Structure 1
Amino acid sequence: MAKQDFIPVILGTDINAYGMARSFHMAYGVTSRCIGKGKLFMTNYSDITTIKVVENLDDPAVFADEMIAFARELKEEADKLVLVASSDSYAELVIRNQDKLAPYYELPFVAEKWIDELLYKDRFYALCEKHGLDFPATYIVTKDNYESPQLPFGFPVALKPADSIAYLEASFEGKKKAYIIKEQAELERTLKAIYGSTYTGKMIVQDFIPGDDSNMRVLNAYSDQNGKVRLMCLGRPLLEDCTPSLVGNYVAIVNEYNEEIYKQYQQFLEALGYTGLANFDMKYDARDGKYKIFEINLRQGRSSFFTTGSGYNLAKFIVENLVYGKHEPVVYAKTEHLWLGVPKEVALTYTEDKEAVRYMKKLIKEKKYCMTLQYDADKAIKRWWHVRKYYKQYEDRYKQFYEQKGNL
């Protein structure tokens, strides 16, 4: 049997992994090989993925060896293997093992020399300041000074870990991915709970930028191996996930064109010589008219299928560059499209910006929308049942957890 030009290998088995598998399948009709610690329904019952389970895959001591062994299993089937990651922890493992993995995989990732500067938020903000990217007023909390922090700005504030990967491993009552804190006593209680756990890293306290979720922006980018940006796609989130462990993840995004943002972040990435996928989260601050950066993910984001769904297939940009050696001019995405991570009714009910609701209704009526897991080419009955159940559970989650932000 003739070899394939390439096989996509995806670290993880979640909705992000499925979004990338769907992107590869839409562009090239190929089946992606997912490898992860366990099976999740998003990829488990799919006709466009296979899954290999390695229960300790996230152990740095075994990761590289397991990935090399997997590559050797696949080498007779394809000329090249294209590796992408669906989580921060997997992305970090790839980046820190690039020298070992590069002989076996095509790697759309940033060079290891940049990882600590970009991964740890306190260092990232220093880099932003150097390159002229705006970010919210920030106060750094450590395990040594958390008991009575004296903030240089008022409440409400946002609270989040500087080291999101280490924070993910911590366990304590009331844990959230990120927090909106309304008073000093609440801040001190929350910090006490966090530092009473296994987490010892820094915490970031930031001036809360007022406004609902529609003031957020998310930017996906791909840069080739010469450090030149090839794709930028900007989205305007209209609603965030209200599930405590998933706060900050988007569930409704419309595409938006902003040439000023595109040029500013292209200059930033190219100044670093950044390579591979990048995902930025920022928010518009009406108080001074600036877009302020929160973080960078060194991979495609959980909601990044909005890029592929709107006609700018992320997988195709990677493959055309790394497999076929093409170096096309940069594309600034410009289209009208809606991506949903919850049922239409949930998005329309809980989005606070009424003009945005009207725009969503228009796009839905024109059938200019998509949902990552709803793929007509992948309709196995068992999978479809799980997909419907997954989306429907958000009706109850929003009734239980949703909190308006527009009045904060």
Structure 2
Amino acid sequence: MTKNDCALVLGGYVNGYSIIQELHEKKIEEIILFGYSRELASYSNKIRKFVLIDKTPDSLQREIKELHKEYTKIIIFPTDDLQLENLHNIYPEIHSFCFLPFNPENLLTCLDKYIQYSYCEKLGVPYPKTILLQKKEDLENIKTIPFPILLKPNKREDLRRKIFRNLKIDDSEDLEKAKKNIEGHLESGIKFLASEIIPGDGSCIYAYVGYRNRKGRILNEWTGKKLSQYPDNFGVFSAASNEAPEEVLVQGRTLLNSMDIKGIAQPEFKYDFRDKKYKLMEINLRSMMWHRMGRLSGVDLHYSQYLDALGKKVSPQVQVKNKNIHFLYLKHEIRNLIRQRKYLRTFLKNIIESDETHFAVYDRKDIKPFLKDSTDIVRSAIRKSLQALRIAG
């Protein structure tokens, strides 16, 4: 017997599990998980089933069509850029029975970070001084930006091939060492952005997160900031809070509306104390690792998408700002403690200096994902210890 609808979460890491938590808390029972491997969310008791897929659009299309035999409508929640590209690739074959949270007309364009910066230029939204590298000869132009420089592909390439997500270049000597590697990637067709590094650590990162429907209306939104990142200041979420100034909200709205972005999107900004501006780092067009902060501070973006997909009313929600809420990923915080000198003070501050502190993945009624994640921490620590012993020996 075919059921009416289901929520399909793509990817079972922290962001995927947070989506599952939110939807389950809103009494959604038909939650399906697709993943490239058995990540932590695949152990959850909140999902109906887990399906293993590979990273090709054909695999994704095959399993979605198989799922359609069970459900009339499938509401999809992607968690990485490759999933977005694969969904875009198979859009004509599945859009009649799937709700796809993006604008098919401009998705690939909007994923390009250089295009994102070009919109900033037109809209007056601050962004770092940046140049585009398309061929080997462009490497000479890097000298127009003062060191240190952050180099990153204009689109996420590390999900499909062996390449760095970002590379910090401190000086000319660093550039010379990395030159051959960069030239090889340029010759293979990868484009790079070389940007000035805005001073400040991971606590200077702010985000606007909104859900914009197919009619171009932002139905719900929230803002927050990172308290720390892992493994360094150019890494990913480790701890976050619901703090952010109005300027971040205004700039985020401007970008989503002007670029005609649909679905859940997250413009991320870094505060530059030199000119007191919040400068765009990138726009993520899917759910990130710390999107649970929205739910914890009163804004249910994933449930908003679910209701909108079914044509139901989405009530506007006001984010809680009168108390300080912290959200931590303990695995990353512990690793920061191990890797970074004098991190204990930051660690304690992230846990203690709040009105509420919540931990990613931990749910005493659904403990297996947390145990899986904790086991990974122990295994990683043992592996690194053995490597250190081998080096010492």
TM-score class normalised by the smaller sequence? 0.7 to 0.9
1:277 is matched with which residue: 255, 260, 264?
A: 264
1:92 is matched with which residue: 85, 94, 99?
A: 85
Distance 2:275 2:147 in 1: 18
| Maintained 8 Å contact 1:223/1:230 | yes
Q: TM-score, normalised by structure 1?
A: 0.82
Say how many residue pairs are matched: 380
Instruction: After superposition, give the CA deviation of every residue in 1:104-147 in whole Å (9 maximum; x if it has no partner).
Output: 122222x1222233111122211221122211000222233255
| Maintained 8 Å contact 2:210/2:222 | yes
Distance 2:382 2:201 in 1: 21
Partner of 1:342: 330
2:125 is matched with which residue: 133, 147, 161?
A: 133
2:196 is matched with which residue: 183, 207, 210?
A: 207
Partner of 2:211: 222
Could you tell me which runs of 5 or more consecutive residues in structure 1 were left unpaired when the two chains were aligned. Answer: 400-408
Partner of 1:112: 104
* Deviation of the 1:290 alpha carbon: 0.6
Partner of 1:181: 169
Return closer, same or farther for 1:273/1:169 CA change in 2, 3 Å cut-off. Answer: closer
* Deviation of the 1:258 alpha carbon: 2.2
2:352 is matched with which residue: 361, 365, 381?
A: 361
Distance 1:48 1:330 in 2: 25
Partner of 1:169: 160
Could you tell me which runs of 5 or more consecutive residues in structure 2 were left unpaired when the two chains were aligned. Answer: 386-393
* Deviation of the 1:301 alpha carbon: 1.2
Amino acid at match of 1:325: K
Return closer, same or farther for 1:326/1:398 CA change in 2, 3 Å cut-off. Answer: farther
Instruction: After superposition, give the CA deviation of every residue in 1:33-88 in whole Å (9 maximum; x if it has no partner).
Output: 11233322x12322112211233xx323454344223222x22xxx5321111111
Amino acid at match of 1:170: R
Give the match's secondary structure for 2:19: helix
Distance 2:131 2:68 in 1: 44
Partner of 2:388: none
* Deviation of the 1:210 alpha carbon: 0.4
Distance 2:51 2:2 in 1: 23
Partner of 1:306: 293
Q: Alignment identity in percent?
A: 22
| 1:268 maps to 2:267 | no
Instruction: After superposition, give the CA deviation of every residue in 1:153-209 in whole Å (9 maximum; x if it has no partner).
Output: 2111111111213x43332xxx53212221012123224213335852111111110
Q: Calculate the aligned-residue CA RMSD, in Å.
A: 3.1
Return closer, same or farther for 1:60/1:340 CA change in 2, 3 Å cut-off. Answer: same
1:45 is matched with which residue: 31, 43, 46?
A: 43
Instruction: After superposition, give the CA deviation of every residue in 1:230-261 in whole Å (9 maximum; x if it has no partner).
Output: 22222211211117xx9521111111142222
Return closer, same or farther for 1:328/1:194 CA change in 2, 3 Å cut-off. Answer: same
